[in-house]
Structure 1
Amino acid sequence: MSVVLNLSGLLPPIREASGYRNIIKMLQSPGSSPSAFTLAWGLLKAARAPVLAALQTDWQGPILVLTTQPERARSLQEEVALWSDQSHRALAEASSSDSTGQLNRAPVWYFPAPDALFYDRTPWDGETIRRRVTVLSALADNDFVHPPLIFTSTWAVMTPTVPRSLLRPGIRTLRVGQTVRLSKLLEELVAYAYEPVSVVEEPGTFSQRGGILDIFPSDAPQPVRIEWFADEIESMRCFDPITQRSSHKQEAMTLYPASEALPRYSQAALPYVSPLPADKDTFVKSRLQRDLERLARGEYFRGMEFYVPCLYPEPSTLLDYLPANALVVIDDLAAVEAAAQTLETQAADLKAELSREGQITPDFPDAYHPWSKVRAALASRAGLQLGYDVQGRSGDLQWEEDTAFHIAPSYGGRIRQLIEDTVRLKAQGQILVIVSRQAQRLSDLFTEEGEAAVPTVELLDSPPPGSLTLVHGSAAEGWVLRKGMMQ
């Protein structure tokens, strides 16, 4: 098994930094309830990933990190996973577990935005659908070993989703020896967006042959073959979707719904689908007719997520799934609010265009939650904002200027200078950590200078003063932590 880059050993010095301690004190002080709109931390961008990993250790609950764009959320999530001690411990637990679910074991999650703008009928990618509904289901069921760190974007939190009270009944745990009527279970699978197929190859599908059910859970890396004896579950085995060969046994599995668009509520969308007149585009007209037929039959179909605002009287947001002890961290509030305004403008223009063309009814529900509503929900929770372009500095905002983190020097094309500076700083008692894909080459060069350093991929403990550590891998940016740490 390959070893994952692990930088969690650098978290203790970060947690001891004065600016970090001040922020934790303000967030945890009894009677204090700062939000992301009343508490700001001017933190260096390069240091945000390790600081967020440290926060996960010190905050006793889930943390939601809101960024401007989906790309920023995804890249920050991937970077924080390198630093998160809880993530590495959870993955180690998962490697020795027979659980099919993966997301609930690794507590650094990404909640994606849809693959289409609001009111755009472009079907969402299957990976997007699965990631979103898996995060929502895990939160609804409190199905996580360690409180998760969730990364998302403005676009994603403005997107309507299924209310928690309607998603939660679709989460079901099956166990060997349990009495379950197979016919009833098949009905439930269809109601919660699983698709019947002849051969199970993709998540969110199932196939039944007599007393055998093959099912690919939405959050699992492999499908599971379940065998019944009468109404009792006799066995469960994971199997390879390519070869269809069974592998290891397991005693239990948890099924999440396969989509936010639940077919059991599909009838509610019918009034908002009106067939186009005969002189309109044939392709669009036939697509709307197919949608009508499938909604009427109560079956899931590709592109059904477009109708999420129509399925539920009061659609929710990701924020509605967070427990009371969740912390909200906004990455550059000014940019987040600018992105929200752009999304609302685009949505209004597209809705007007589609309404004129007859592709949606005039009373079609809003396909997004307005930023004013999302902002109010964010402001009601404990939180803080990160960044320098802070709005409202003169108002009720508490401002913490970070002085511990500094920009690290750049050594592109200057290897000799890097080696000289490293040797000098090490002699001064500094702690130096260099993350590079050329770690072995750097090791050879340092050896020539009399500084032995064996490359590693795991930094599990805080290095001692006057030390050099070479880590094979890559990190987005470097930083200097005052009082002796450079990464």
Structure 2
Amino acid sequence: MSIERFAAVFLDSQQAVELTDRLDRCDPAVVEGAPVPAKAFLLACLSRVYPKVAVVAANEDAARTLYEDLQAFIPSECHLVPPSDVWSPTPDAELAAMRVSALEALTSPEGTAVLVGSVQALLQRTAGFGRRLKVERASMLSLADTASELSSMGYERTVMVESPGQFAVRGGILDVFPSNAERPVRIELFGDEVDSIRAFDPDTQRSTAMLDAVEVLPAREEGSSGADPCLLDLVPRGGLVVVDEPNSVVGHYGEFTAEFQARLVREAGLPQATSECIPNPETYKSWDAVLTALVKGRRLYLHTVPRSIPWERSLFRLGIDTTAVKRYRGQVDDLASDLREWLKREDTVVLLTERSSRVLELMGEHGVPAESGEFRSHSAVQVLRGRLSEGFRIPCVGLWVVTDVEMFGDRQIPKPRRAFRTGTPVFSVLDLREGDYVVHINHGIGIYRGLARLPEGDTQRDFLRIDYADGDKIYVPTDQLDRVQKYIGSGDQPPEIHRLGSGTWARTTARVKARVREMAKELLQLYAARAASEGYAYSPDTVWQR
């Protein structure tokens, strides 16, 4: 859904003009009454005025919800910033790549970037990255030197690249999956000259595009110190910092930093503790320090329900006049009647759906003029492919956005806590013996090494110790046994144990899910073809067949 036309109309409205005027004077402003999709629409519009925007959410769930709604408006310009696992000596490569890409988008002088992340993700200090590798076709390149440079940039050398942060060398071919790219690239050499550069699919190994050049950013940020800035400090002068539900942000960050400091004390007291396992106590910038800089710059707060903001003395309050859209739940006659009424008022009506073909058919059957693609006129409903958490109406721009949630009653169900449904569940620690292979739902196959009693606050608590490759280990609280099951393997060979944070387990489960979906699709097509084919009517049984 292109935001350009709607942004132009919204930014010309009296409300938006007053809001941007206040923001340009660095006066604090708060927008109240907007649901999450309307917040996403507002941020997408403001990104046309302030090209660099950082949005602080209270937690990862809130950040992801807002990010997913933003993708409906500015899919290529929004970036989800995940928090790093600072306790792991080998951070997850994909999360590290996401942070590098977001950091590059924010600090690049060109382009528009809207970063969305939890408060701990955006207040984590970063040393950024200084080096990058650029390879052009017909240039000279030493494979040995390039491999060494990629290793120093945090890339892992593997047999075959499967995820960001990996590279492989085979003869005169260099495969690398840049942290800032959606697909890996294959660089083929003729002697020491770069003969071709191609993007390729890591699953099929087939080329998808020919490239003239490729720029490779480091696989992860450099190690930070207590003097380094956080991502919010890197928002340029012409940018905008947005705090979504600021009271919740402060509350969550206070709990997070208290837990972080308590864990530092616990980990430092363990006999196996090393400096490599314990992060810098100044990893996260204090909220008070952030406020000192925040109140001097351009800032906007978002509240669904009006509330005070303790650290702001005077606020420009803007109530976004948004209304919910009626839930039709499959009653297409009622929907068609309302659509015709809105079109008579020359409102802009957008049906944002993942069933665009079917919706166009329904509009035709009920006599509602409809067009696919971007806006052309007020005389027809615009049917666009996409998804929002729910629809909304903004009267000041005459905009209606109706989604599958309103049309058909579809609802994005929150993902429940994952638990094993099959296999051999562990109901008690007595079901396990030291040395047993076990499977943790998030980290994969490891070896159970018994119970460990560790301090937690003023008390002691029991944990299951599970070991992984290269000395990695996790401690699982005994009240989370549903996260662990006994390993059941086929054959006599022991399973392969991987390092924590290598991404191997996530890639394996993702491949299995993809293959299961493909199998389900084939079965659906098979049974649909059977159901659609003509049958054969046999004659009734004769006396000889009875």
**Superposition TM-score, scaled by structure 2 size:** 0.64
**Structure 1 position 356 matched with structure 2 position 257:** no
Q: 1:289 corresponds to which residue? A: none
- Which amino acid counterpart does residue 280 of structure 2 have in structure 1? P
- Which amino acid counterpart does residue 371 of structure 1 have in structure 2? W
> Residues 361 and 391 of structure 1: is their aligned pair in 2 closer, same or farther, counting only changes over 3 Å?
farther
Q: 2:60 corresponds to which residue? A: 70
- Which amino acid counterpart does residue 336 of structure 2 have in structure 1? I
**Structure 1 position 33 matched with structure 2 position 3:** no
Q: 1:137 corresponds to which residue? A: 104
Match of 2:323, SS state, is: strand
> Residues 357 and 446 of structure 1: is their aligned pair in 2 closer, same or farther, counting only changes over 3 Å?
same
**Structure 1 position 486 matched with structure 2 position 400:** yes
Aligned counterpart for 1:241 among listed residues 194, 197, 202: 202
- Which amino acid counterpart does residue 269 of structure 2 have in structure 1? R
Structure 2 CA distance, aligned partners of 1:72 and 1:356?
Answer: 34
- Which amino acid counterpart does residue 22 of structure 1 have in structure 2? E
CA positional deviation for 1:189: 1.2
Structure 1 CA distance, aligned partners of 2:385 and 2:171?
Answer: 52
Matches within 5 A, 1:173-188: 173-188=134-149
Q: 1:153 corresponds to which residue? A: 118
Contact 1:70–1:155 (CA<8 Å) still a contact in 2? Answer: no
**Structure 1 position 48 matched with structure 2 position 18:** no
Matches within 5 A, 1:58-137: 58-59=49-50, 61-84=51-74, 106-114=76-84, 116=85, 120-121=87-88, 124-137=91-104
**Structure 1 position 15 matched with structure 2 position 11:** yes
Match of 2:174, SS state, is: strand
Residue deviations 1:63-84, cap 9 Å, x none?
Answer: 1111112222223222222223
Structure 1 CA distance, aligned partners of 2:195 and 2:357?
Answer: 53
Structure 2 CA distance, aligned partners of 1:193 and 1:417?
Answer: 58
Contact 1:429–1:467 (CA<8 Å) still a contact in 2? Answer: no
CA positional deviation for 1:56: 1.3
Contact 1:7–1:459 (CA<8 Å) still a contact in 2? Answer: no
Residue deviations 1:102-129, cap 9 Å, x none?
Answer: xxxx222111123x4x6x4385433212
CA positional deviation for 1:429: 4.6
- Which amino acid counterpart does residue 14 of structure 2 have in structure 1? S
Contact 2:124–2:230 (CA<8 Å) still a contact in 1? Answer: yes
Matches within 5 A, 1:88-487: 106-114=76-84, 116=85, 120-121=87-88, 124-140=91-107, 142=108, 144=110, 146-161=111-126, 163-164=127-128, 167-168=129-130, 170-228=131-189, 231-244=192-205, 248-260=209-221, 262=222, 308=223, 312=225, 314-360=227-273, 365-366=280-281, 367-387=283-303, 388-392=305-309, 396-412=313-329, 414-437=331-354, 447=364, 451-454=367-370, 456=372, 458-461=373-376, 463-464=377-378, 468-482=381-395, 484-487=398-401
Match of 2:301, SS state, is: strand
Contact 2:94–2:163 (CA<8 Å) still a contact in 1? Answer: no
Structure 2 CA distance, aligned partners of 1:213 and 1:335?
Answer: 47
CA positional deviation for 1:445: 5.7
Match of 2:176, SS state, is: strand
Residue deviations 1:29-86, cap 9 Å, x none?
Answer: xxx223xxx2222241241111111111122x311111112222223222222223xx
> Residues 364 and 124 of structure 1: is their aligned pair in 2 closer, same or farther, counting only changes over 3 Å?
closer
- Which amino acid counterpart does residue 57 of structure 1 have in structure 2? R
After TM superposition, the structure 1 stretch with the greater mean CA deviation from structure 2, 17-26 or 336-345, is 17-26
> Residues 405 and 324 of structure 1: is their aligned pair in 2 closer, same or farther, counting only changes over 3 Å?
same
Q: 1:292 corresponds to which residue? A: none
> Residues 196 and 13 of structure 1: is their aligned pair in 2 closer, same or farther, counting only changes over 3 Å?
same
> Residues 126 and 428 of structure 1: is their aligned pair in 2 closer, same or farther, counting only changes over 3 Å?
same
- Which amino acid counterpart does residue 332 of structure 1 have in structure 2? E
CA positional deviation for 1:317: 1.9
Structure 2 CA distance, aligned partners of 1:49 and 1:216?
Answer: 31
Highest relative contact order (Cα 8 Å, sep 6+), 1 or 2? Answer: 1
For structure 2, the 5+ residue unaligned runs are: 402-546
* % same residue: 24
Match of 2:125, SS state, is: coil
Residue deviations 1:381-435, cap 9 Å, x none?
Answer: 3121111444347953222232533333333465444334333444455443333
CA positional deviation for 1:353: 1.6
Structure 1 CA distance, aligned partners of 2:253 and 2:311?
Answer: 23
Residue deviations 1:275-301, cap 9 Å, x none?
Answer: xxxxxxxxxxxxxxxxxxxxxxxxxxx
**Structure 1 position 24 matched with structure 2 position 17:** no
CA positional deviation for 1:377: 3.7
Contact 1:8–1:460 (CA<8 Å) still a contact in 2? Answer: no
> Residues 460 and 77 of structure 1: is their aligned pair in 2 closer, same or farther, counting only changes over 3 Å?
farther
**Superposition TM-score, scaled by structure 1 size:** 0.71
> Residues 230 and 424 of structure 1: is their aligned pair in 2 closer, same or farther, counting only changes over 3 Å?
closer
> Residues 392 and 320 of structure 1: is their aligned pair in 2 closer, same or farther, counting only changes over 3 Å?
closer
Greater share of strand residues, 1 or 2? 2
Structure 1 CA distance, aligned partners of 2:311 and 2:120?
Answer: 29
Structure 2 CA distance, aligned partners of 1:327 and 1:340?
Answer: 21
CA positional deviation for 1:343: 0.6
> Residues 143 and 172 of structure 1: is their aligned pair in 2 closer, same or farther, counting only changes over 3 Å?
farther
For structure 1, the 5+ residue unaligned runs are: 88-105, 263-307
- Which amino acid counterpart does residue 399 of structure 2 have in structure 1? M
CA positional deviation for 1:258: 0.8
After TM superposition, the structure 1 stretch with the greater mean CA deviation from structure 2, 384-393 or 127-136, is 384-393
- Which amino acid counterpart does residue 396 of structure 1 have in structure 2? R
Tell me how large the CA RMSD over aligned residues is. Answer: 3.2
Residue deviations 1:10-33, cap 9 Å, x none?
Answer: 3333223321121112223xxx22
- Which amino acid counterpart does residue 152 of structure 1 have in structure 2? G
Greater share of helix residues, 1 or 2? 1
Contact 1:224–1:238 (CA<8 Å) still a contact in 2? Answer: yes
Structure 1 CA distance, aligned partners of 2:172 and 2:349?
Answer: 61
Number of aligned residue pairs:
395
Contact 2:340–2:368 (CA<8 Å) still a contact in 1? Answer: no
Match of 1:53, SS state, is: helix
> Residues 221 and 427 of structure 1: is their aligned pair in 2 closer, same or farther, counting only changes over 3 Å?
closer
Structure 2 CA distance, aligned partners of 1:437 and 1:182?
Answer: 46
Match of 1:207, SS state, is: strand
